[in-house]
């Protein structure tokens, strides 16, 4: 069980490099919601939503291909790095040029017609992200978590500093319109991303363009389904924000435009992203962990334990965030106009919990080289997402978008589990996992029914209940945990 200890330790280290920077980015909610209107924040949400989707195309699934081919017996890691980096740079450069050439029409479509430069800046951000994706993957493969962490933290430090400068010093003297606010935020991200080129200068200068007539096509064949899976997965994650403006009936929220509603939804969505941050940190450590332990005869039992403890941690996170929104809204949403959307947070948190479980279950088709199955599952999830948003948004607004997210990831977990048990059986503790999830949902609902005149007394009572719940989990899992840490 020492392997579980190492995985937990690496998760903590990568957490400093992924959760901490993203949490610091989450803290930007304070200046963003204090300075920018809901419509301005809607513009930012809209632009970064499309950027997230395009990022999948720019990297083309080559991070996973790098891990797979670099871990093959007898593989030359340096050559694998050169091969994957060559593919990524070629794809991202071509995509960047297309986006720059179409900046004007793209700005019209995204409803920032006066600011086509924003599209050019976003293209540059995407290119830099793609250029350093394989170097960051290489750090993970080489267990250089500290350097990984330093790079991520310095980047977000620059972003925060520039946001504060632009929003509190420059913005008050500029024209107070949504486009201007979005421009300052995007410019801050672009300048901060340029730091990565300096950070990885040594590794990037050592790269040599390389193409192998046998290996390169094999990498593309492996990565292409991963890219499609990532694209469909990003559609699942971002589609609700992309379509809320399209399918929300005019006047659904009295006195608010669709752009304003998107801004509210985008802001409260940040609370649900706290779950995604934990998932992302875990994935950074788990992906190489799964590949490196695939040949172990006890790997199925090991993978099942990993998933079980993962569910427990995510359930606790869901409980803590969902029952303390009254505190969180005052700390991070400085404009009360954003508060009306907080009801979607527990539903989104549960959806992301299922997404994390899906990432764990997906190990079977990655290790068996059936990545096309992952593509089919994620595309199926995208179909659920599109259909659910189309049906639910006109009737329930952004709550409909939240339920669509939950339906999507829940269906993907069910399908992935059933197929996995057929092709790559892993003894997951399904009953125990569902028991924790349902128990957490019930406890969350019960706690939120309690009302207190004094906010801090209510917070104290909820904290005691959560501590008791943690103690109960430890009691139930004490024997298993004792074996795991040995």
Residue 284's pLDDT is what? Answer: 67
CA-CA distance, 486 to 483, in Å (whole number)?
A: 5
**Residues of the chain with pLDDT > 90: what percent?**
37
Residue 12's pLDDT is what? Answer: 63
SS (H, E, C) the chain: CHHHHHHHHHHHHHHHHHHHHHHHHHCCHHHHHHHCCHHHHHHHHHHHHHHHHHHHHHHCCHHHHHHHHHCCCCCCHHHHHHHHHHHHHHHHHHHHHHHHHCHHHHHHHCCCCCCCHHHHHHHHHHHHHHHCHHHHHHHHHCCCHHHHHHHHHHHHHHHHHHHHHHHHHHHHHCCCCHHHHHHHHHHHHHHHHHHHHHHCHHHHHHCCCCCCCCHHHHHHHHHHHHHHHHHHHHHHHHHHHHHHHHHCCCCCCCCCCHHHHHHHHHHHHHHHHHHHHHHHHHHHHHHHHHHHCCCCCCHHHHHHHHHHHHHHHHHHHHHHHHCCHHHHHHHHCCCHHHHHHHHHHHHHHHHHHHHHHHHHHCHHHHHCCCHHHHHHHHHHHHHHHHHHHHHHHHHHCHHHHHHHHHHHHHHHHHHHHHHHHHHCCCCCCHHHHHHHHHHHHHHHHHHHCCCCCCHHHHHHHHHHHHHHHHHHHHHHHHHHHHHHCC
Question: Looking at the predicted structure, is the pLDDT value of residue 391 above 90?
Answer: yes
CA-CA distance, 62 to 231, in Å (whole number)?
A: 13
Averaged pLDDT score across all residues of the chain: 85
pLDDT tens across 403-434, in order?
999 999 999 999 999 999 888 888 999 999 99
Give the angle 174-178-184 at the CA atoms, nearest 5°.
55
Residue 431's pLDDT is what? Answer: 93
Sign of CA pseudo-dihedral 233, 197, 279, 25: negative
- In contact, 286 and 3? CB cutoff 8 Å: no
**Residue 255 zone, left/alpha/beta (φ > 0; ψ -120 to 50; rest):** left
* Tokens describing residue 338: 């954003």
pLDDT tens across 318-343, in order?
999 999 998 999 889 988 889 999 99
Give the mean pLDDT of 96-100: 92
CA-CA distance, 243 to 110, in Å (whole number)?
A: 12
pLDDT grade for 113, boundaries at 50, 70 and 90: low
Question: Looking at the predicted structure, is the pLDDT value of residue 168 above 60?
Answer: yes
Question: Looking at the predicted structure, is the pLDDT value of residue 122 above 60?
Answer: yes
What is the distance between the terminal CA atoms of the chain, rounded to a whole angstrom?
6
Residue 159's pLDDT is what? Answer: 94
Q: Which residue has the higher pLDDT, 388 or 276?
A: 388
pLDDT grade for 483, boundaries at 50, 70 and 90: low
pLDDT grade for 305, boundaries at 50, 70 and 90: confident
- In contact, 117 and 86? CB cutoff 8 Å: no
pLDDT grade for 178, boundaries at 50, 70 and 90: very low
Question: Looking at the predicted structure, is the pLDDT value of residue 201 above 60?
Answer: yes
pLDDT tens across 231-250, in order?
877 888 888 888 888 898 88
Question: Looking at the predicted structure, is the pLDDT value of residue 4 above 60?
Answer: no
**What is the value of pTM for the model shown?**
0.78
């Amino acid at each position: 069980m020492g392997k579980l200890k190492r995985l937990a330790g690496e998760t903590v280290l990568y957490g400093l490099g992924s959760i901490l920077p993203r949490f610091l980015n989450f803290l930007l909610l304070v200046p963003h919601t204090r300075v920018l209107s809901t419509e301005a924040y809607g513009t930012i949400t809209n632009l970064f939503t499309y950027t997230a989707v395009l990022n999948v195309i720019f990297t083309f699934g080559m991070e996973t291909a790098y891990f797979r081919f670099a871990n093959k017996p007898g593989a030359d890691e340096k050559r694998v790095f050169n091969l994957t980096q060559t593919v990524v740079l070629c794809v991202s450069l071509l995509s960047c040029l297309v986006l720059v050439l179409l900046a004007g029409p793209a700005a019209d479509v995204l409803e920032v017609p006066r600011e086509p430069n924003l599209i050019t800046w976003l293209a540059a951000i995407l290119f830099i992200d793609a250029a350093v994706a394989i170097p960051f993957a290489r750090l993970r493969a080489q267990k250089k978590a500290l350097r990984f962490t330093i790079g991520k933290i310095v980047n977000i430090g620059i972003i925060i500093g520039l946001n504060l400068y632009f929003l509190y010093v420059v913005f008050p003297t500029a024209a107070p319109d949504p486009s201007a606010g979005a421009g300052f935020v995007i410019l801050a991200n672009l300048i901060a991303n340029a730091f990565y080129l300096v950070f990885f200068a040594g590794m990037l200068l050592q790269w040599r363009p390389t193409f192998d007539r046998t290996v390169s096509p094999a990498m593309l064949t492996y990565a292409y389904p991963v890219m499609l899976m990532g694209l469909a997965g990003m559609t699942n994650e971002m589609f609700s924000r992309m379509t809320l403006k399209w399918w929300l009936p005019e006047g659904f929220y009295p006195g608010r435009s669709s752009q304003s509603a998107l801004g509210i939804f985008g802001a409260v969505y940040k609370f649900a992203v706290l779950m995604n941050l934990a998932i992302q940190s875990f994935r950074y450590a788990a992906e190489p962990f799964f590949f490196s332990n695939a040949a172990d005869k006890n790997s199925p039992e090991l993978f099942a334990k990993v998933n079980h403890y993962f569910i427990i941690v995510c359930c606790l996170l869901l409980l803590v965030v969902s029952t303390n929104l009254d505190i969180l809204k005052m700390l991070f949403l400085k404009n009360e106009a954003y508060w009306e959307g907080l009801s979607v947070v527990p539903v989104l948190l549960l959806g992301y919990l299922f997404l994390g479980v899906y990432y764990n279950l997906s190990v079977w088709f990655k290790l068996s080289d059936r990545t096309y199955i992952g593509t089919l599952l994620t595309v199926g999830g995208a179909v659920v997402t599109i259909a659910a948003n189309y049906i639910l948004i006109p009737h329930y607004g952004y709550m409909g978008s939240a339920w669509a997210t939950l339906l999507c990831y829940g269906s993907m977990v069910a399908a992935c589990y059933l197929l996995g048990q057929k092709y790559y059986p892993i003894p997951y503790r399904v009953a125990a996992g569902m028991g924790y999830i349902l128990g957490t949902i019930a406890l969350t609902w019960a706690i939120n029914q309690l009302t207190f005149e004094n906010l801090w007394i209510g917070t104290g009572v909820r904290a005691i209940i959560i501590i008791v719940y943690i103690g109960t989990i430890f009691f139930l899992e004490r024997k298993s945990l004792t074996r795991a840490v040995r």
